[in-house]
Structure 1
Amino acid sequence: MGLCCSKPRNDGDDSDHHVEFAGGNVHLITTKQSWDEKLSEASRDGKIVVANFSASWCGPCRVIATFYSELSEKYPVLMFLTVDVDELTEFSTSWDIKATPTFFFLRDGQQVEKLVGANKPELQKKVIAIVNSVATSQK
């Protein structure tokens, strides 16, 4: 399924671990304040948030990052966020992240769906189901 459960030993060279998680319509969350602001914005605009908790050293996270970005461009009715679990350790712990990547689907700040692992077909299926539920509720 593709997931990372623990951080690898640091051999002193992080250059090959850096990956760009923000692209397309993905917003990189670097502070608790920016998280709160984006959730408020999503609630105000009636958008469901897809939050990707990942890590730069996680291979499966890097693999799915491009696909996640593509989904963000294809489904602008949703708000796509990425949280680096190493940047916001305490915050990520409060979400009980056991493996990366972990995706949460949030409506008005409340979890409505969750996916653990870099499973592209399952992520796409959940995104489409959420988009369809938004379209149905707006009729």
Structure 2
Amino acid sequence: MGNCLDRLHGQNGSESHSVNFGRGDVQLITAKEVWDEKLSEASRNGKIVVVNFSASWCGPCRMIAPFYSELSEKYPSFMFLTVDVDELTEFSSSWDIRATPTFYMLKDGQQIDKLVGANKPELQKKLAAIADSVVNLAV
């Protein structure tokens, strides 16, 4: 499945693609402080955090964004976040993002799973497995 390894430019170097990464119940992270608040909120509420590290110029990111939004509605017990790697370059680097999209699944701020690339079936499978394990732990 697709992933972007380098920034793409239009012929004049200024082409941009507007993508709304924050549809559905997806929250766009615009600052490190917002990230910290969301992780604290998720920990307090016992929520799994799913993070999509994306870029507006990335074709596979744009392709999977609507599906990611659908997943946010399908799994309301998870918190869905998106980080634009160009807006938060240093922060994204601290997560060792080498390709977009990259998805992290976190519990209490710690990584429990990861997926690199716009692989819809694999993302769905990973979230379903996490949801099932959370349900089984609660029983």
Deviates most, 79-88 or 5-14: 5-14
Distance 1:48 1:29 in 2: 16
Q: Cα deviation per residue 1:68-111 (whole Å; 9 max; x = unaligned)?
A: 00000011011000000000000000000010000000000000
Equivalent pair of 2:39/2:109 in contact (CA under 8 Å): yes
Determine if the alignment matches structure 1 residue 50 to structure 2 residue 82.
no
The residue number in structure 2 matching 1:59 is 59
Runs of 4+ in 1 over 4 A off after TM superposition: none
- TM score, norm. by length of structure 1: 0.96
What are the ranges of 5 or more consecutive residues in structure 1 without an aligned counterpart? Answer: none
The residue number in structure 2 matching 1:112 is 112
Equivalent pair of 2:9/2:15 in contact (CA under 8 Å): no
The residue number in structure 1 matching 2:129 is 129
Give the count of matched residue pairs: 137
Determine if the alignment matches structure 1 residue 13 to structure 2 residue 27.
no
Distance 1:45 1:136 in 2: 18
Determine if the alignment matches structure 1 residue 24 to structure 2 residue 16.
no
Distance 2:18 2:47 in 1: 30
For residues 83-122 of structure 1, what are the structure 2 equivalents within 5 Å?
83-122=83-122
Distance 1:71 1:9 in 2: 30
SS of residue in 2 equivalent to 1:79: strand
SS of residue in 2 equivalent to 1:129: helix
Distance 1:9 1:19 in 2: 16
Letter in 2 for 1:5: L
Letter in 2 for 1:12: S
- Measured after TM superposition, the shift of residue 13 of structure 1 is 3.0
Distance 2:96 2:81 in 1: 17
- Measured after TM superposition, the shift of residue 40 of structure 1 is 0.3
Distance 1:21 1:13 in 2: 18
Distance 1:51 1:12 in 2: 27
Superposition CA RMSD, Å: 0.8
Distance 2:89 2:68 in 1: 22
Letter in 1 for 2:99: A
What are the ranges of 5 or more consecutive residues in structure 2 without an aligned counterpart? Answer: none
